[in-house]
Amino acid sequence: MYFFDPHIHIASRTTDDLERMARSGCVAVGEPAFWMGYDRASAESFYDYFRQLTEWEPKRTANYGIRHYSWIGINAKEAENTAFAKEVIALLPEFLDKPEVLGVGEIGLHKCTKNEVATLLELIDLALGRGEQMLFHTPHLEDKYKGTRMILDLLRADPRVDRSRVCIDHCEEHTVRLALDEGFWAGITLYPLTKATPERTVDMVETYGAERILVNSSADWGPSDPLAVTAFIHAMRRRGYADSFIRRIVYDNPLAFFNQSRGFTFTPPA
Ligand SMILES: [Zn+2]
């Protein structure tokens, strides 16, 4: 079955991964700007990273017939130093104007500090001022519920926000409903250790339906699986779901969400 992985860090993956993804049916990926596993020393380092996401990685995935789209932003882990974050934010418009850039992301909260919130508000303002879609990273484990609530509070407070153009990512059982009930898209991340498993994700689909759900691997440089979306497809089939229904979640939904971005062009495979 053809599918999108709407959230994966291709910059951290090998060409072997790309080949396996292509053989498994992956036709498109969304790559949000994120933390690279270490804190960058300067804004120039972000500049080169944004070039990698918008110039180099699309070529690398194209060799395997996979379309590459990116999100540009500064992640919460590197947003604590607000002066540094301002320097990075000043770089964003140049990259947001590039083709195949979907919007501002992944942005959000990590430890939910005052400085993280200050940077996040600047990022949201930039995105809304330019009419960009937004992709939100929600914090890990013990901070997830609180961080998700804080992000939703910030978005609710700004009347310019069009919820149908915002994805709240890394949702789990205790947060997915918060995002969906308020009209946002909800991303569910399949991770081998933390976040959701394929079976738990099927449970969430059974509880909340398929509408506005995006399933992703968020595969990066840590323990993660670039074929995680196929594990979800397999788990859905085992649960008795028809491929036409599964396809809505792994193909039609990300296509519909991405399609709201100015920079998005896509020709469906024949
Ligand atoms: Zn990510």
Full set of structural domains in the chain with CATH:
3-258 (3.20.20.140)
* Structure confidence at residue 142 (pLDDT): 81
Phi, psi of 216 (to 5 degrees): -140, 165
**How remote is the CA of residue 106 from the centroid of ligand 1, in Å?**
7
| Location of structure tokens 């792994």 | 250
What percent of the chain shows pLDDT beyond 70?
A: 100
| Cα angle for residues 51, 191, 225 (degrees, 5° grid) | 60
* Structure confidence at residue 37 (pLDDT): 87
* Structure confidence at residue 244 (pLDDT): 97
Pull the structure tokens for residue 239.
């649960």
Nearest CA among 106, 103, 142, 125 for reference residue 262? 103
| Long-range contacts at 22-28 (CB < 8 A, ≥ 24 apart) | 22/64, 22/65, 22/66, 24/227, 24/230, 25/1, 25/230, 26/2, 26/66, 26/229, 27/2, 27/3, 27/65, 27/66, 27/67, 27/269, 28/4, 28/66, 28/67, 28/68, 28/69, 28/254, 28/258, 28/266
Alpha helix (H) residue ranges in the chain: 15-23, 43-51, 57-62, 82-96, 114-130, 144-156, 176-181, 198-208, 228-238, 243-247, 253-258
* Structure confidence at residue 11 (pLDDT): 97
Residues of the chain with pLDDT under 70: none
Pull the structure tokens for residue 122.
């600047």
**How remote is the CA of residue 76 from the centroid of ligand 1, in Å?**
11
Is 70 within 8 Å of 53 (Cβ atoms)? yes
**How remote is the CA of residue 137 from the centroid of ligand 1, in Å?**
7
**How remote is the CA of residue 68 from the centroid of ligand 1, in Å?**
15
| Cα Rg of the chain (Å, integer) | 17
**How remote is the CA of residue 6 from the centroid of ligand 1, in Å?**
10
**How remote is the CA of residue 7 from the centroid of ligand 1, in Å?**
6
pTM: 0.96
Pull the structure tokens for residue 222.
């840590």
* Structure confidence at residue 248 (pLDDT): 98
* Structure confidence at residue 192 (pLDDT): 73
For 214, the enclosing helix (H) or strand (E) is strand 213-216
| Cα angle for residues 138, 100, 128 (degrees, 5° grid) | 55
**How remote is the CA of residue 74 from the centroid of ligand 1, in Å?**
11
**How remote is the CA of residue 169 from the centroid of ligand 1, in Å?**
9
User: Which residues place a Cβ less than 5 A from the ion ligand 1?
Assistant: 34, 218
Largest CA distance in the chain: 52
**How remote is the CA of residue 240 from the centroid of ligand 1, in Å?**
30
* Structure confidence at residue 191 (pLDDT): 83
**How remote is the CA of residue 226 from the centroid of ligand 1, in Å?**
12
Residue 174: CB atoms within 10 Å: 10
3-class secondary-structure state, position 89:
helix
* Structure confidence at residue 160 (pLDDT): 97
**How remote is the CA of residue 34 from the centroid of ligand 1, in Å?**
6
